[in-house]
Amino acid sequence: MGKQDKIFEEGNVSGLPFSFNQEVTEVFEDMIDRSVPGYNTTLRIIQQQAKNHCVDGTNVYDLGCSLGASTSSLLNALSGRSKIIAIDNSDSMVRSCAERFSDSIKTGQVNFLKEDISHSEIVNASIVVINFVLQFLSIKERAELMQKIYQGLVPGGILILSEKIHFDSKKRTDEISCIHHSFKAANGYSKLEISSKRDSLEGVLVTETEFQHLDRAKELGFKSSTKLMSNLNFLTYMFQK
């Protein structure tokens, strides 16, 4: 585990929108662990499902890999059966992955690319993981990326998608957000830290409803959608081609 996240201890002093810069990279593991209920379970689910669905000789993608936690689950599951391509557009995240995973990079099991996933090539894939990343793309980019993923998957291939969501009813969204804030408070974040992070994420992390995600996947032609996890306003789905 890296450094403790104290970025918003004094509020959003810079007033800048949230970005995945060096400062965030250094505290990222602590930040995501204390902020996303069920995050560690998603990593275990990714490992399990990757074991079940990997087709030898295909590609496996981790889109928006951050510090490679999901990549690590994929490496554990696949033991070299497929090539893993992990992509992030944050310079500091990808540099850190290059150090952390130097052994697996040398053996050719994984390749880290510093790239905008909107422009990445996805081919011959049996598994694509997007663990809490689609939410940072524009709605148009989401649709285009999901289509590219669908096209790049082999028949029977899977997409594991985790996202923060909101609900159709504002009342329910507010209720669940309030419980989520209690979860963060119980993990040591102050009221000021919680509200400052929320403000800095405004317009950067844009949620959709569960129905919007399901509808998009169905429209694209995914033959099945399975909810693998649901924790407050955080969901993990598996879509199969």
Report DSSP state, residue 82. S
Does the protein bind ligand GEK through residue 8 (CB under 6 A)?
no
What are the Cα distances from residue 102, in Å, to 64, 94, 96? 19, 12, 10
Binding residue count for ligand GEK, defined by CB under 6 A:
20
Does the protein bind ligand GEK through residue 37 (CB under 6 A)?
no
Contacts of 157 (CB under 8 A, 6+ apart): 53, 55, 58, 125, 126, 127, 128, 240, 241
The one segment of 7-15, 52-60, 66-74, 232-240 that binds ligand GEK by CB under 6 A: 66-74
Paired residues of 61 in beta bridges:
85, 128
The one segment of 74-82, 127-135, 188-196, 221-229 that binds ligand GEK by CB under 6 A: 127-135
Contacts of 222 (CB under 8 A, 6+ apart): 150, 159, 239, 240, 241
The one segment of 53-61, 112-120, 212-220, 221-229 that binds ligand GEK by CB under 6 A: 112-120
Tell me the C-alpha distance between 109 and 132, whole Å: 23
Token couple for 210: 């569960």
Pick from 64, 148, 234, 238 the residue near ligand GEK by CB under 6 A: 64
Pick from 70, 104, 109, 196 the residue near ligand GEK by CB under 6 A: 70
The one segment of 4-12, 116-124, 148-156, 216-224 that binds ligand GEK by CB under 6 A: 116-124
Contact call for residues 92 and 69 (beta carbons, < 8 A): no
Does the protein bind ligand GEK through residue 69 (CB under 6 A)?
yes
User: Any alpha helices (H) in the chain, and if so which ranges?
Assistant: 22-35, 39-53, 69-78, 91-100, 102-106, 139-152, 170-186, 191-201, 210-220
Does the protein bind ligand GEK through residue 50 (CB under 6 A)?
no
Nearest alpha carbon to residue 239 among 106, 86, 49: 49
Does the protein bind ligand GEK through residue 96 (CB under 6 A)?
no
Does the protein bind ligand GEK through residue 90 (CB under 6 A)?
yes
- In the complex, the smallest distance separating the C-beta of residue 43 from ligand GEK, rounded to whole angstroms, is 7
Q: Which is nearer to ligand GEK, 46 or 57 (CB)?
A: 46
State which of positions 151-210 bind ligand GEK (CB under 6 A): none
Does the protein bind ligand GEK through residue 65 (CB under 6 A)?
yes
Residues at the interface with ligand GEK (CB under 6 A): 20, 32, 64-66, 69-70, 87-90, 93, 116-118, 131-133, 136-137
